[in-house]
Structure 1
Amino acid sequence: MEYTIINEQVVFNDHYKILKAEVRYETFKGETITAERLAFHRGDSVAILLVEKESNSVLLTKQFRYPTTQHEKGWLLEIPAGSMEKEECPLACVKRETLEEMGYEIEQPDQLFNFYTSPGGSTERVFLFYAKVSKHQKTEKGGGVEDENEDIKTVKIPISEIQEYLQNKIMDAKTIIALQWLLLNQ
């Protein structure tokens, strides 16, 4: 099946971008649809599920997320994550983000998946990684980058309590995917 992007343009450009385009694509019946579409363009990102060996716990972040205030939430529990810089590979980015947010140096995490966060409206792909860490790998304080106004708290959740957290305390999709993967593969 074929598609054509016609007249794509940036219609909003601030911290993130919004793209607008006319698209033409083949239908499953062999016809053609032409329509205008918008896309929230924020670039690709990485996320990592960290398991601390000594405590048999997952290491999560807790931080303020403005968009969730639309649903009366402010702070979310999430796996560490961050946006990729231009020309940065996912592995380099996940190492950088793990050090900045959690303070842990990691060597060779396993890449589990990559997926779209909301393919009907966003261009973002998330590259999801997994690593086991030891306390001696914590070489920096973590907590985020002050220049970026990050204020990140580390939260340890025993693996034995993950199911309870999934029931009512985890609202972030990438974190749910990662924790479900852990429960299926531990």
Structure 2
Amino acid sequence: MSKSETVTIEILKDETLSKNWYHLRNITFRYTDAEGRTKVLKRETYDRGNGATILLYDPRRDVVVLVRQFRVPTYVNGGTGWMLETPAGLLDGDAPEDAIRREAMEETGYRVGPVRSLFKAYMSPGAVTEIVHCFAAVIDIEDRVEEGGGLASEDEDIEVVELGLDDAMAMIASGEICDGKTIMLLQWAVMNRDSLKAGASVAP
């Protein structure tokens, strides 16, 4: 029997600390470990809803489509604030596949055809409740039917960036790409590049 099967958790209090843009909560819970020892612990959790992200790959040009935008948390942590990322967004009540098609169009202007669901990931499970649904899609330059750039109504100011896959991987090594979801999806693309080029498809 694993440790997780013998530990018991009981939520004692769920207190809202802030509910402005997202929901910051202070959770008090009783934790009884595998040896029967009980502690009352407190942890803050940040609930922003679940999201989705997508790797857009053009096999004919061996190019990935990323977006560059300003991220305040990275700026106040000593960075420039400008992050290169795969297109992404919150589900906002939609199914993950529907949400990522919407976000890809809004951010990059690319109309996405068949998509492949790759995996789900908690990006910061020690503090953030969000699950990110990760997808991939093959695109062609002719699929760019709009300019992209995000929604003015959401104060988005997004630059569409097309990079060779090898160049993008080099930018991980240099630190120019340091977003977790983007790193995972680019690594997936490298591992699957031959099959993507051969079949020009992401169907399972």
Mark yes or no: TM-score above 0.5. Answer: yes
Q: Which of the numbers 11, 14, 34 marks the counterpart of 2:17?
A: 11
Partner of 2:81: 74
Within the candidate set 113, 121, 130, 1:115 is matched to 121
SS at match of 2:146: coil
| TM-score when normalising by structure 1 | 0.94
Q: Does 1:157 align with 2:171?
A: no
Shift of 1:28: 3.2
Match of 1:98 in 2: 104
Instruction: List alignment gaps of at least 5 residues for structure 2.
Output: 1-6, 194-204
SS of the equivalent of 2:135 reads strand
Matches within 5 A, 1:1-186: 1-70=7-76, 71-85=78-92, 87-168=93-174, 169-186=176-193
SS in 2 for 1:4: strand
CA distance in 2, matches of 1:98, 1:52: 14
Is the 1:54–1:135 contact (alpha carbons within 8 Å) kept by the matching residues of 2? no
Q: Distance in 2 between matches of 1:159 and 1:126?
A: 22
- Specify whether residues 141 and 185 from structure 1 end up closer, same or farther in structure 2 by C-alpha distance, changes over 3 A only: same
* Alpha-carbon distance between aligned partners in 2 of 1:172 and 1:18, rounded to the nearest angstrom: 23
TM-score with structure 2 setting the length: 0.86
**Ranges of 4+ aligned residues in structure 1 off by more than 3 Å:** none
Unmatched 5+ residue regions in structure 1? none
RMSD after superposition: 1.3
The code of the aligned residue for 1:68 comes to T
Counterpart-to-counterpart distance in 2, 1:126 and 1:156: 23
Q: For 2:69, what is the secondary structure of its paired residue?
A: strand
SS at match of 1:142: coil
Which has the greater radius of gyration? 2
Determine the C-alpha separation between the residues in 2 that align with 1:164 and 1:40. 32
Matched residues in 2 for 1:79 and 1:103: separation? Answer: 13
Residue 112 of structure 1, CA deviation: 0.8
